[in-house]
Amino acid sequence: MRVPLSSSISIYLFGFIESPSPSTRSLAGGLYPRQIRSPGICSCLEQTEVSLKHDPYWCWQKNTNEPQWMDCCKEPDFCNKDIVFGYAQAQEEEKWPEQMSIITALCVMIVLLAVAGALIFYGRRKRNSGARQILPEDSVCGASYPILNGHTTIQDFIEMTTSGSGSAGLPLLVQRSIARQIQLVEVIGKGRFGEVWRGRWRGENVAVKIFSSREECSWFREAEIYQTIMLRHENILGFIAADNKDNGTWTQLWLVTDYHENGSLFDFLTARYVDPDTMLEMAYSIATGLAHLHMDIVGTRGKPAIAHRDLKSKNILVKSNLTCCIGDLGLAVRHIVATDTVDIPSTHRVGTKRYMAPEVLDETINLYQFDSFKRADVYALGLVLWEIARRCNVDGIYDEYQLPFYDVVQPDPTIEEMRRVVCEDQQRPSIPSRWVACSTLNAISKVMKECWYQHPAARLSALRIKKTLANLR
Ligand SMILES: Nc1ncnc2c1ncn2[C@@H]1O[C@H](COP(=O)(O)OP(=O)(O)OP(=O)(O)O)[C@@H](O)[C@H]1O
Ligand SMILES: [Mg+2]
């Protein structure tokens, strides 16, 4: 066949071939020996089929169903007369590079993903171990802060933080160091935000509230409130440390406080009754704690007023001398004196439904006035006093422990249920007739009634309650 193409180019085509056998793949530096099945068509191309007619080395492969191979030569005529069929790199090479490039791309992607994953993992580990290295157990901090030097007790520690500049809590690095020396012993409770553990720090018990990672805001807020300047008080749960420990996979959020083996007031009253004097001391200590919380102390070393917003028997702890302290400050708000507002945007309803004041339940509370929150706290205090009074043993007679409104709402009441009982029906816990016969119980029942007036402004202040109870002791 003679197909003159251009002055110097002839192209011949021929059909062929089979896939390379695996055993021959590595031969010829990437050229695969092909077994030619049939030479098929073998001809020089028409000139029109040459894609780049002016370039003697660029040829165009005809797109037919037959596998083809083409080559270029510079012989003008009979270009294909001396063709020797042998090793070829035709049809399979057409598919092979395509498959190869997909496989290579996939491999590269997998390797890149693996490398990226490994980098992230080791990066986090390194960062984490770096954080730990800030505070090797007895390093810089131990030298700078005597509290970490081995013989300090929690009591010393508390004194250090209540005197001088430490009144807003220990330096953060010291808190972290203490938290990391704690061994957790047992779970002692579970609340909305996580678990509470008994832990040991240098042979002494501490309580560790462990927040889940998604409760980081609650953890932060509670730690922040506890570290409000001048907050420390014998009737406010003693704050020791806050720590966020990143273990590489998740963040553990710890809040370390004094441990009280009697547990919460709810735990205590469920298990034990009290005599009138103990009842009074308990009531007085809670009122004192609340009065301290509510108090604005002006001056450079002053304290802002704080409203608790979740006062209830489960958030009050009973100390070993049977006086109480108020804990769980995570929902508290602080008073900004200059604007007479609260320090964080407040939502209508926070806290525990059972203890919500009528104005919280029906959302008539004035959220822009700080006093509103104090009055709602006083309402809840009235319910707590009622819980204690029921357990007051006079001449061998006392009532079984019950939560407020136990007789009119379900165990986990809805807002609507509480609103109907407290706002519409204006019900309050009942005062047993036996209380009238006991002067202490009678006096305390008057106080509680003045705490839970429907009209918030009519309620007593925490300071007034404290003084009234002081006079009864
Ligand atoms: N400092 C502490 N000392 C001893 N026991 C504690 C201490 N703090 C908490 N507890 C125990 O752990 C329990 C759980 O406390 P937590 O505040 O997490 O939940 P709660 O008060 O029961 O419910 P809520 O989530 O509504 O506040 C408490 O009821 C109490 O028994
Ligand atoms: Mg609580």
- Say whether pLDDT at 120 is over 70: no
Q: What is the 275 CA–ligand 2 centroid distance (Å)?
A: 26
Nearest atom, ligand 1, residue 193 CA: 25
> 324 alpha carbon to ligand 1 midpoint, in Å?
14
pLDDT at 73 over 50: yes
Residues 390/398, Cβ–Cβ less than 8 Å: yes
The four Cα atoms 413, 416, 419, 421 give a dihedral, to 10 degrees, of -60
The finding on whether 314 has its CB within 6 A of some atom of ligand 1 is: yes
Q: Is the pLDDT of residue 112 over 70?
A: yes
Helix (H, G, I), strand (E, B) or coil at 453: coil
Residue 222 Cβ < 6 Å to ligand 1: no
Q: Which helix (H) or strand (E) holds 256?
A: strand 251-258
Q: What ranges do the domains of the chain cover?
A: 152-259, 261-472
189 lines ligand 1 (CB under 6 A): yes
| 262 contacts 317 by C-beta, under 8 angstroms | yes
User: Is residue 343 among the annotated active site residues?
Assistant: no
152-259 and 261-472 share one CATH topology?
no
Assigned fold of 261-472:
Transferase(Phosphotransferase); domain 1 (1.10.510)
Does residue 425 surpass a pLDDT of 50? yes
The residue type at 189 = G
- Determine the CATH number of domain 152-259: 3.30.200.20
Span of 9-18, 72-81, 446-455 with lowest mean pLDDT: 9-18
Region of poorest pLDDT, from 16-20, 89-93, 259-263: 16-20
What is d(CA 430, CA 427) in angstroms, rounded to the nearest whole number?
Answer: 9
Residues 162 and 232 sit within 8 Å (Cβ to Cβ) = yes
State in Å: Cα 328 to ligand 1 middle: 8
**Is 126 marked within a binding site?**
no
pTM of the model: 0.71
**For ligand 1, is residue 328 a contact (CB within 6 Å)?**
yes
Residue with tokens 């005197």: 163
Whether the bond into 17 is cis, omega within 30 of 0: yes
What element of type H or E holds 14? strand 10-15
Please answer whether residues 189 and 263 qualify as being in contact, where contact means their C-beta atoms are separated by less than 8 angstroms: yes
- SS3 string of 33-55? CCCCCCCCCEEECCHHHCCCCCC
**What's the rounded Cα separation, in Å, for the pair 187 and 208?**
9
Average pLDDT over residues 51-74: 51
Average pLDDT of 181-204?
92
Tokens for 169, please give them: 């809590």
Say what percent of the chain tops pLDDT 90: 51
What span, in angstroms and rounded, lies between the C-alpha atoms of 115 and 105?
Answer: 15
Residue ranges of the alpha helices (H) in 396-433? 415-419
- Ligand 1, atom 19, lies closest to the CA of 191
Q: What is residue 177's predicted lDDT score, i.e. its pLDDT?
A: 85
Residue type, 357: A
- The pLDDT > 70 percentage for the chain reads 68
Sign of the alpha-carbon dihedral angle for 363, 367, 372, 374: positive
Distance from the CA of 200 to the center of ligand 1, in angstroms? 17
Q: What's phi and psi for 213, nearest 5 deg?
A: -55, -35
| CA diameter of the chain | 132
Instruction: Using pLDDT thresholds of 50, 70 and 90, give the confidence band for residue 130.
Output: very low
CA-closest candidate to residue 282, choices 258, 231, 313, 318: 318
Instruction: Kindly compute the dihedral angle of the four CA atoms of residues 318, 352, 209, 127, in this order, to the nearest 10 degrees.
Output: -160
Q: Which ligand is nearest to the CA of 193?
A: 1
Which ligand has the minimum distance to the alpha carbon of residue 255?
Answer: 1
Q: What is the pLDDT of residue 99?
A: 75
- pLDDT higher than threshold 90 for residue 114: no
**Mutate which of 211, 314, 356 for ligand 1 pocket (most atoms within 8 A of beta carbon):** 314
Is it the case that residue 9 has pLDDT exceeding 80? no
Closest of 207, 204, 211 to residue 188, by C-alpha: 207
Q: Which of 243, 310, 328, 377 is catalytic?
A: 310
Ligand 1 mutation pick, 154, 158, 186, 188, max ligand atoms within 8 A of CB:
188
Q: How confident is the model at residue 307 (pLDDT cuts 50, 70, 90)?
A: very high
**pLDDT band at residue 102, thresholds of 50, 70 and 90?**
confident
DSSP structure string for 53-97: TT-TT-------SS-EEEEEE--SSSTTTT-------SHHHHHHH
**Least distant ligand from the CA of 314:** 1
Looking from the CA of residue 314, the nearest atom of ligand 1 is 21
User: Residue 21: left (phi > 0), alpha (psi -120 to 50), or beta?
Assistant: beta
The long-range contacts involving 147-151, CB below 8 angstroms and separated by at least 24 positions, are: 147/174, 147/178, 148/174, 148/177, 148/178, 150/202
Q: Which of 176-190, 338-352, 355-369 has the lowest mean pLDDT?
A: 338-352
Q: What is the mean pLDDT of the chain?
A: 79
Better-scored residue on pLDDT, 175 or 39? 175
User: Which amino acid, 229?
Assistant: I
